[in-house]
Structure 1
Amino acid sequence: MIFGPRIELKSPAELQLMDRAGQLTLRVLSAARSAAVPGATTAEVDAAAEAVIDAAGAQSNFKGYQGFPAVVCISVNEEIVHGIPGSKVLRTGDLVSIDGGAIVEGFHGDSAFTMIVGGDEAGTTADRDLSAATEAAMWAGIAAFATGMKVSDIGDAIDDYVTEAHPQLGLVEEFTGHGIGTAMHMAPDVLNYRARSNGPKIRPGMCLAIEPMLTNGSSETVTLSDDWTVVTADGSRASHWEHSVARHDGGVWVLTAEDGGASGLAPFGVTPVPPSAA
């Protein structure tokens, strides 16, 4: 059903399909993570992700979207988001964000993570801390979705976490989270920062993609000449984490997490509950 003119609320059966799309997205990104080794090209990482989608008989929601040519976005070092896979060779210590999704029976999954090529020990302390802070900001936002009343509670929680725990980091505001369901990008917009508007009420059946992006410097961004790749204006490194999350009558469920979000939500006292098929 559609709440108001725009926001899609899922039935229990539709939430089951969202969960299937989310779990396939998890497998797609796991394959990309495994392929992102020193010496691999970003095109090879993309091919590993696409093979999982093809094997599942599913569809990519990235490839062809507004002309995007690949099934995952791969953003390296100063690239924040929407990096196009190609001939770039990954090197030990690169900070890489991979964003991808999949469509299962008309329903979409969308998720992103940041990794250090060669393992965490191959990166700098600053890069490890940046990725950890971005992931923690995402979980703060997800916890707010689990317990809050308004969509704006999510941005408030992310902003508060970054401001209080990591004020030296840049919080990117130009790109937001979004509703997700029968399309990859739907209402409502999910801001990653405090705003005057309270936004719509959180209601059962609402599914959101929550995705903060942080930098080790300025939050100012530049879009490159390919009209996709977004980089930091000052050349500082960036991190991007994202999960698709469902709020339902029984609680909250992280659709693109292996454990439904149990480990990430535990510090907030939130226990995720899988959506009922009833």
Structure 2
Amino acid sequence: MARRHKIKIKTPHEIGRMRIAGATASEILMELVKAVEPGRTTLEIDQLAADLMRQRDCKSAFLGYRGFRGQICISVNEEIVHGIGGPRKIQPGDVVTLDVGVVKSGWIGDNAITVAVGDVTDETRRLLVATEQSLFEAISHAYAGKRLADLCGSVEEYVAPLGFTVVREFVGHGVGRDLHEEPQVPNYRPQGKSPILEPGMILAIEPMVNAGTRSIRILDDGWTVVTADGKPSAHFEHTVLITEGEPELLTWRERGVPGL
């Protein structure tokens, strides 16, 4: 009988591999958080990511993907996602998003966090806290038997009353052997019939939330996505396993916005 959808259900063996990949991605991400400090360039952090991956016998899931040139995505202030490490120096008051994806024994772990560098504005502080919380709002819907649309819609439904907007052009996704698998996981309620979540599904849930307009533009490098109004953006992500019970964070880390 044909499946009702193309969403891959992972076997227990595959889930075990994904646990290892997720834990490795989380460990590297949190090591990089410690390196985010004034005066350091984004390229230096990208190079550190390469060293950390080498030490853990894994490789970047992003490097070379459709021509991407970085080990990780590192995005500063108005940069939303897909920033490439370069000569830009981190300054006090910046917010820096680190998005780390690794391939470990053929399986992918994917996670992201936004770091506050020194004193940030009150609006930026609210943005970061709200974006992290919106991730956990979504995770609270990551239960077998629930509809994906409810998970997706919960992000925008949480941040919009606070005056923030969600990016629509870039979304979360299923993840496993491939970086981007079915289903797409937008941060707003999609139209049409929505799949029902089942045990064994693994989702990369990743709210991308802007302080101002949801409109975006892409820089001349062809990758870096920025807010159209130049206001800051935040991005938090976990790889999440749907189970028979509580959702499992394969990229588990302590909750909280670094730097706040």
TM-score range, shorter chain: over 0.9
1:235 aligns with 2:230: yes
**Equivalent in the alignment of 1:246:** 241
Whether the aligned pair in 2 keeps the contact of 1:27 and 1:52 (CA below 8 Å) is no
In the aligned structure 2, how far is the partner of 1:254 from the partner of 1:197?
28
In the aligned structure 2, how far is the partner of 1:193 from the partner of 1:148?
19
1:133 aligns with 2:130: yes
Whether the aligned pair in 1 keeps the contact of 2:216 and 2:225 (CA below 8 Å) is yes
In the aligned structure 1, how far is the partner of 2:18 from the partner of 2:80?
27
1:179 aligns with 2:171: no
In the aligned structure 1, how far is the partner of 2:145 from the partner of 2:131?
20
Count of matched residue positions in the alignment of Structure 1 and Structure 2: 255
1:163 aligns with 2:160: yes
Indicate which of 226, 240, 252 corresponds to 1:257: 252
**Equivalent in the alignment of 1:45:** 45
In the aligned structure 2, how far is the partner of 1:6 from the partner of 1:105?
23
Aligned structure 1 segments of 4 or more residues deviating by more than 4 angstroms: 2-5
In the aligned structure 2, how far is the partner of 1:134 from the partner of 1:110?
17
| 1:130 shift after superposition | 0.5
Cα deviations across residues 165-217 of structure 1 (Å, max 9, x unaligned)? x1x11211111110000111110001110222232110110000001111111
The RMSD of aligned alpha carbons is 1.7
Q: How does 1:73-88 map to 2 (within 5 A)?
A: 73-88=73-88
Cα deviations across residues 110-163 of structure 1 (Å, max 9, x unaligned)? 111101123xxx111111110110111111011111365111111121122123
Whether the aligned pair in 2 keeps the contact of 1:154 and 1:191 (CA below 8 Å) is no
In the aligned structure 2, how far is the partner of 1:148 from the partner of 1:76?
38
Whether the aligned pair in 1 keeps the contact of 2:147 and 2:195 (CA below 8 Å) is yes
Whether the aligned pair in 1 keeps the contact of 2:5 and 2:195 (CA below 8 Å) is no
In the aligned structure 2, how far is the partner of 1:55 from the partner of 1:106?
17
Structure 1 residue identity aligned to 2:74 = I
**Equivalent in the alignment of 1:61:** 61
Q: How does 1:140-151 map to 2 (within 5 A)?
A: 140-146=137-143, 149-151=146-148
Closer, same or farther in 2 for the Cα pair 1:147/1:156, shift >3 Å? farther
Sequence identity, in percent? 39
Cα deviations across residues 50-109 of structure 1 (Å, max 9, x unaligned)? 111100111210111111111111111111110110111001110111111111111101
In the aligned structure 2, how far is the partner of 1:254 from the partner of 1:175?
21
- What TM-score do the two structures reach when normalised by structure 1? 0.87
Q: How does 1:198-217 map to 2 (within 5 A)?
A: 198-217=193-212
- What TM-score do the two structures reach when normalised by structure 2? 0.93
